[in-house]
């Protein structure tokens, strides 16, 4: 990817595509945000296309981080880079912190992610990513901004630029951060462990946005309370006694036990969990054996567990351990070969809980700026994020709102029996840049100004 270092400055306006939002956004001449957002829009769309064409994997966001720092510095912010150090690694984090002080008042932090995914892009866009890179295991993989982090980065830059131009409209301290390694859920912890809230002004509110393919570009959604679930990675090794496939009676077959366990795990949500407490238990990977006629010694399963409430998560994990043990005992496996259940400490994030009062307050402010027809309440989902760590345990109210980024015609067709919308992390996900960025900038500016007016 070295030859793409200059890319943010090489992709030009020839690639710009003007796509209006489905519902005209309200004008807000009183604070000047709409006019400035429109004035800066062409440059922001070009920036987005450049970022999209030059993605970087989690923990390797060197060029993206430097680009974001350079842009924010040019707007007049105090910049600190290389914030955050990953646990058990010599790799220095690529977190960026930008601060602008403007007299007494509240301190508000706005966050974006910097990383991309190991996905091969198939959108066919003229600015589609063709990047390949080495992952942490040394594998050569394709790289794509398949989760919209490039939309988030561009919206943050646009917000920072507008608010720097409107310092007479707000008072207090603004903090913008570029967080690395969201997709591997290590970046937020790394920045907090690097004393983010001690080295820099401690925020009173923390904000973020996230794009979605299930809401039209030009619209914004808010979710008071639980918005995203927790996510916990669980590794299970079912151990047995291997042998010849022609003599199963002389073995303790871990493949059969693993198959039984997969089915048993489905009963946790359906029979042990209250239907009023959403939860998911998914076996995403199962590996065992090497040949048709060999019964292996062990089988490995990888699970993801999702829940909103912590007590539900803990109960599910206890059930998983109990069921793994019972399957092994029923299979006649000796205690010395009991299954190993490992709950990851690092591949875990808590639920994202939007402070209800803050969320409703911001929903009102954004609705006034964009027009009430463009703002709505949206339901929570079982995806997960490490954004909640910036508020959890810190007693800081947070709010992540949803930014519509879908082609309205495509979304309407999918709602009426057409092809399903490409989801986040899909090789086909392509946000509509112009209306998404315009709305992202105006919505986040409205939110910040509401808290700092």
**Block residue for tokens 């005209």:** 24
Are 224 and 263 in the same domain? Answer: no
On the CB side of 339, CA atoms within 13 Å amount to 30
Q: What is the pLDDT at residue 18? A: 35
pLDDT tens-digit readout, 328-339? 999 999 999 999
Q: What is the pLDDT at residue 346? A: 83
Are 287 and 366 in the same domain? Answer: no
Q: What is the pLDDT at residue 26? A: 58
Are 179 and 213 in the same domain? Answer: yes
For residues 86-98, average pLDDT: 73
Are 102 and 199 in the same domain? Answer: yes
Distance CA 342, CA 300 (A): 11
Q: What is the pLDDT at residue 345? A: 86
**What is the CATH classification number for the domain harbouring 296?**
3.30.70.360
Distance CA 231, CA 311 (A): 13
Strands (E), 47-106: 78-85, 92-102
Q: What is the pLDDT at residue 43? A: 98
Are 325 and 383 in the same domain? Answer: no
**DSSP code at position 26:** P
Note whether 12 and 45 are within 8 A (CB). Answer: no
Q: What is the pLDDT at residue 17? A: 34
Q: What is the pLDDT at residue 89? A: 53
* Tokens coding 18: 């003007």
pLDDT tens-digit readout, 205-233? 999 999 999 999 999 999 999 999 999 99
Q: What is the pLDDT at residue 10? A: 33
**DSSP code at position 374:** G
Pick the last residue of a domain from 289, 314, 348. Answer: 348
When pLDDT is cut at 50, 70 and 90, the band that residue 86 belongs to is: low
Pick the last residue of a domain from 294, 315, 348. Answer: 348
Q: What is the pLDDT at residue 208? A: 98
Q: What is the pLDDT at residue 2? A: 35
Angle at the Cα of 119 from the Cα atoms of 115 and 123, rounded to 5 degrees? 105
For residues 195-213, average pLDDT: 97
Note whether 406 and 215 are within 8 A (CB). Answer: yes
> Is residue 113 over pLDDT 60?
yes
Go through 254-293 and write b for each residue having 16 or more CB atoms within 10 A of its CB, e for each that does not.
bbbbbbbbeebbeebbeeebeeeebbbbebeebebbeeee
> Is residue 360 over pLDDT 50?
yes
For residues 387-414, average pLDDT: 95
Q: What is the pLDDT at residue 126? A: 98
> Phi and psi at residue 338, in whole multiples of 5°?
-60, 150
Are 184 and 277 in the same domain? Answer: no
Q: What is the pLDDT at residue 29? A: 46
Q: Which of 251, 247, 347, 345 is nearest to 298 (CA)?
A: 251
Distance CA 150, CA 115 (A): 8
Structurally, the chain folds into a number of domains equal to 2
> Phi and psi at residue 193, in whole multiples of 5°?
-65, -25
Distance CA 95, CA 109 (A): 14
Note whether 167 and 102 are within 8 A (CB). Answer: yes
Q: What is the pLDDT at residue 31? A: 65
**DSSP code at position 271:** I
When pLDDT is cut at 50, 70 and 90, the band that residue 344 belongs to is: very high
Q: Which of 44, 374, 433, 54 is nearest to 221 (CA)?
A: 374
Note whether 178 and 369 are within 8 A (CB). Answer: no
**What is the CATH classification number for the domain harbouring 430?**
3.40.630.10
For residues 58-80, average pLDDT: 97
> Is residue 393 over pLDDT 50?
yes
Are 393 and 333 in the same domain? Answer: no
Phi-psi sector, 384: left (phi>0), alpha (psi -120 to 50), beta: beta
Its pTM stands at 0.89
Give the whole-number percent of the chain exceeding pLDDT 90: 89
pLDDT tens-digit readout, 259-318? 999 999 999 999 999 999 999 999 999 999 999 999 999 999 999 999 999 999 999 999
Strand, coil or helix: what is 293? Answer: coil
Distance CA 442, CA 33 (A): 6
Pick the last residue of a domain from 325, 348, 371. Answer: 348
Are 238 and 179 in the same domain? Answer: no
For residues 42-68, average pLDDT: 97
Cβ atoms within 10 A of the Cβ of 380, count? Answer: 18
**DSSP code at position 387:** G
Cβ atoms within 10 A of the Cβ of 30, count? Answer: 9
Are 242 and 331 in the same domain? Answer: yes
pLDDT tens-digit readout, 144-153? 999 999 999 9
Q: What is the pLDDT at residue 93? A: 85
Q: What is the pLDDT at residue 11? A: 35
CA-based Rg of the chain, rounded to a whole angstrom? 24
- Domain extent, residue 253, equals 230-348
How confident is the prediction for the chain on average, in pLDDT? 92
> Is residue 88 over pLDDT 60?
no
> Is residue 1 over pLDDT 60?
no
> Is residue 132 over pLDDT 80?
yes
> Is residue 7 over pLDDT 80?
no
* Tokens coding 146: 């398949």
Q: What is the pLDDT at residue 401? A: 98
Are 86 and 208 in the same domain? Answer: yes
Long-range contacts, stretch 10-15, CB < 8 angstroms, 24+ apart: 10/50, 11/46, 11/49, 11/50, 11/53, 11/127, 12/46, 13/42, 13/46, 15/46, 15/49, 15/126, 15/127
Are 362 and 238 in the same domain? Answer: no
pLDDT tens-digit readout, 161-171? 999 999 999 99
On the CB side of 206, CA atoms within 13 Å amount to 24
Are 50 and 135 in the same domain? Answer: yes
């Amino acid at each position: 990817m070295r030859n793409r270092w200059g890319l943010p400055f090489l992709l030009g306006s020839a690639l710009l595509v003007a796509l209006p939002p489905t519902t005209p956004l309200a004008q807000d001449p009183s604070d000047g945000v709409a006019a400035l957002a429109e004035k800066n829009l062409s440059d922001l769309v070009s920036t987005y296309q450049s970022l999209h064409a030059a993605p970087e994997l989690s923990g390797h966001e060197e060029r993206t981080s430097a680009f974001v720092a350079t842009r924010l510095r040019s707007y007049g912010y105090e910049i600190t880079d290389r914030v955050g150090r990953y646990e058990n690694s010599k790799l220095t984090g690529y977190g960026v912190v930008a601060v602008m002080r403007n007299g007494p008042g509240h301190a508000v932090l706005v966050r974006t992610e910097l990383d991309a995914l190991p996905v091969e892009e198939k959108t066919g866009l003229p600015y589609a990513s063709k990047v390949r890179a080495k992952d942490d295991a040394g594998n050569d993989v394709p790289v794509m901004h398949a989760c919209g982090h490039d939309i988030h980065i561009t919206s943050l830059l646009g917000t920072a630029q507008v608010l720097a131009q409107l310092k007479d409209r707000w008072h207090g301290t603004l903090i913008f951060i570029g967080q690395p390694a969201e997709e591997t859920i290590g970046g937020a912890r790394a920045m907090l462990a690097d004393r983010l809230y001690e080295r820099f002004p401690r925020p009173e509110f923390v904000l973020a946005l996230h794009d979605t393919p299930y809401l039209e570009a030009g619209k914004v959604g808010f979710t008071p309370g639980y918005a995203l679930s927790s996510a916990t990675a669980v590794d299970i090794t079912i151990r047995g006694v291997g042998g010849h496939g022609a003599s199963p009676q002389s073995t303790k077959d871990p493949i059969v036990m693993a198959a039984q366990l997969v089915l048993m795990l489905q009963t946790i949500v359906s029979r042990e969990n209250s239907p009023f407490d959403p939860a998911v238990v998914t076996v995403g990977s199962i590996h065992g054996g090497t040949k048709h006629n060999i019964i292996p010694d062990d089988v490995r399963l990888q699970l993801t567990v999702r829940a909103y409430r912590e007590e539900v998560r803990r109960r599910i994990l206890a059930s998983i351990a109990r069921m793994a043990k019972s399957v092994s005992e029923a299979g006649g496996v000796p205690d010395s070969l009991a299954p190993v259940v490992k709950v990851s400490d690092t591949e875990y994030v808590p639920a994202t809980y939007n402070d209800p009062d803050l969320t409703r307050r911001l929903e009102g402010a954004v609705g006034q700026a964009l027009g009430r027809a463009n703002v709505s309440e949206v339901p929570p989902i079982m995806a997960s994020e490490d954004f909640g760590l910036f508020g959890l345990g810190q007693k800081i109210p947070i709010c992540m709102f949803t930014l519509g980024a879908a082609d309205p015609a495509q979304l309407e067709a999918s709602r009426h029996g057409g092809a399903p919308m490409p989801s986040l992390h899909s090789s086909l996900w392509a946000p509509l840049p112009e209306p998404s960025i315009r709305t992202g900038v105006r919505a986040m500016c409205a939110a910040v100004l509401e808290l700092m007016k």
